[in-house]
Structures are given as C-alpha cells and as structure tokens.
Structure 1
C-alpha cells in the first residue's frame, strides 16, 4: 500500500465505536438512553405488523437480558431507556438487531434493518430518569404523529424506574 494511502486511511478511518473506553457497559447500576436507527433513513416501522414484532422482541429481551424502563418505536428509529442484566450492552443490542433484522425479512425488508452503530447516553446519577422517559414517550407528539402520548401504540413505561 503506498504511503499516501496509509496517511489517507489514518485521516478518514471510520471509528469502530463511539463508546467510552474502559467503561463497564454491563453494569446494571447505569441506565442507558439508546437510539437505534433504521438503515438508509427508511421508515420500516410504518408497517404495523413489523412494529408489533419488534415490540414483542423488545419485551422478550426485557425478560432475559435487560431492565426496560420505557421505549418508543418511531417510523424510522427506536428509543429505549434500559439497564443490562450483567451483560454487555453492545452485545445485547447486536443480538437484538440481528434477530429483528431476520424478522423484518418476512415483511419484505432486504438486507439489514438497522444502522451499524447505535447512539447512547449514560444517564448521570443526578439526571431525572422520569424526565428521560418523558422525553422518549413524547417523541411522536413532537414529530406531529399524534396529539397526545397515549395516542401512540408503540411506546410504554415498562419496568419501575430506579429512582
């Protein structure tokens, strides 16, 4: 490989992660506000049946791998506030994305359902978790999809918040 290409590769190398180095992403003491986005800015979750399958998979994950405080599935992305049950957050989300991608193929989705990475915010201990969940649940109202939070069928408060 020519030296110039090596320099360009250093300049334009895509980071494999936006996670914090040396942070324990499997610690259940932390709450994560996570956003998973659909690939190519598509809106696959306008399909009611697919959306219901995604929610079912998420609720199954709650039974096995995460504490699920709240969620909101939008037409093109998913917001959740979660804590892992002593498993690595990235691995949990990787498995969820893989499983739900396979489900999506039954609904005509070709290829991957989700973008490669995910966005997360580690809730600080001084942050109000109810405010975070309220923000998540109000997303469809802010986007003009419904007039009231209760009108959106793909969102809920689930597990009690660790206040």
Structure 2
C-alpha cells in the first residue's frame, strides 16, 4: 500500500492552538508500553520502586536541572505509569536562532514546551534503562504520547494533587492495574530485564 497523507498521519492529541510554553500547572500522565509493570509494585497501599522505577523517579526529579523554567509539584511513579504536575514559571525562555513559533506542531519541537520536556524525559529514561540492561529497544518502555491536563484553577489543582498522592492506595481499583484487563488484552512484551 502506498503512502496517503490523508490516511497515514499522526494527529496530535494536544489542545489545538494552545501555547504549551505558557506559565501554568500541567497535570501529566505517562504510561508504559502495553501497561507492563516495569517500575515496581504496590504493597499495602505504598509504592515500592524497583531499579527501573528509581530511574524513572530520579530522572523526573532532575527535570528542573535541564529545564530551568520548570518546577515540580507532586508526582508518583506507579508500577506501569507516572502521574505528575509540572509548573512552568514566569521565567522567559531565551530565544534561540530560528525560534519563530510558540505552538508545537508534529515533528517540530518547541524549546521549553511541555511536549518537549516530556519527550526529553522519556528519551533519557529509555536511554538509561537500555544502557543498564544492554538493550536497544527504544519503543518498549513507554506508550506513545502522554495525557496532559492544563490546570485552570486552584481547586482543580488541589483535587489533582490529592488524586496523585492517593494513587498508590487505590491501586487495587486502578484501571491501569493489569489485574483489571481481560486476559486477551493482557499482552506482555518480552523484555530482557
């Protein structure tokens, strides 16, 4: 079958026309590929990170070291996903030669934008896991894309913070918990680690 741009294209799930470099709080959810529990287990309502979970945790904590305009709010690494709030501060991002856009279009990253921060984070975690496990499976760690919610008020932000903090305690009922999938959907990828 030949390539047809009307049929064979990726659509962005980002809010059309929104400037993802704007100051504000962004609620982010990242999932592992095929919802595999790569990052540890929940035991008695508490998340216990394994070695790969600590990589995901430490690299999330390091985001402000690489993006000075980003501050971290609450976050949690779960067995097969991560929830976190990233806050873009009012600090302007210095322009670089060739910077002339503020909104992200597919395959054209915007420096300092939320999609660029997430792309960089996922790539860094994947690279570190591959180095430690002596693999090159770049697409076996993360599900493509990510969920984001642009926070618009303090009440909503507090609700999201509470949801994130309480997430490990609700793991037994969490729709991301593989115990909730029908057997036919519980596909596991054979990872070397």
TM-score range, shorter chain: 0.7 to 0.9
Of 81, 87, 98 in structure 2, the residue corresponding to residue 77 of structure 1 is: 81
Of 7, 10, 17 in structure 2, the residue corresponding to residue 22 of structure 1 is: 17
Distance 2:123 2:138 in 1: 11
Counterpart contact for 1:50–1:107, Cα < 8 Å = no
- For residue 104 of structure 1, report the CA deviation from its aligned partner: 1.6
Q: CA 1:41–1:14 in structure 2 vs 1: closer, same or farther (change >3 Å)?
A: farther
Q: Which residue of 1 aligns with 2:65?
A: 63
- For residue 13 of structure 1, report the CA deviation from its aligned partner: 4.9
Extract unaligned runs of 5+ from structure 1: 146-163
- For residue 67 of structure 1, report the CA deviation from its aligned partner: 1.1
- For residue 126 of structure 1, report the CA deviation from its aligned partner: 5.3
Of 130, 138, 161 in structure 2, the residue corresponding to residue 111 of structure 1 is: 138
Of 37, 41, 53 in structure 1, the residue corresponding to residue 55 of structure 2 is: 53
Of 32, 35, 42 in structure 2, the residue corresponding to residue 41 of structure 1 is: 35
TM-score, length basis structure 1: 0.74
Which deviations, in whole Å up to 9, do the C-alpha atoms of 1:25-61 show, x marking residues without a partner? 0112x21111000012211112611111211111111
Q: CA 1:43–1:63 in structure 2 vs 1: closer, same or farther (change >3 Å)?
A: same
Q: What RMSD over aligned residues (CA atoms) do the two structures have, in Å?
A: 2.4
More displaced 10-residue stretch of structure 1: 30-39 or 55-64: 55-64
Extract unaligned runs of 5+ from structure 2: 41-48, 94-111, 174-193
TM-score, length basis structure 2: 0.63
Structure 1 runs (4+) deviating above 3 angstroms are: 12-15, 107-111
Q: Secondary structure at the match of 2:62?
A: helix
Of 168, 171, 174 in structure 2, the residue corresponding to residue 140 of structure 1 is: 168
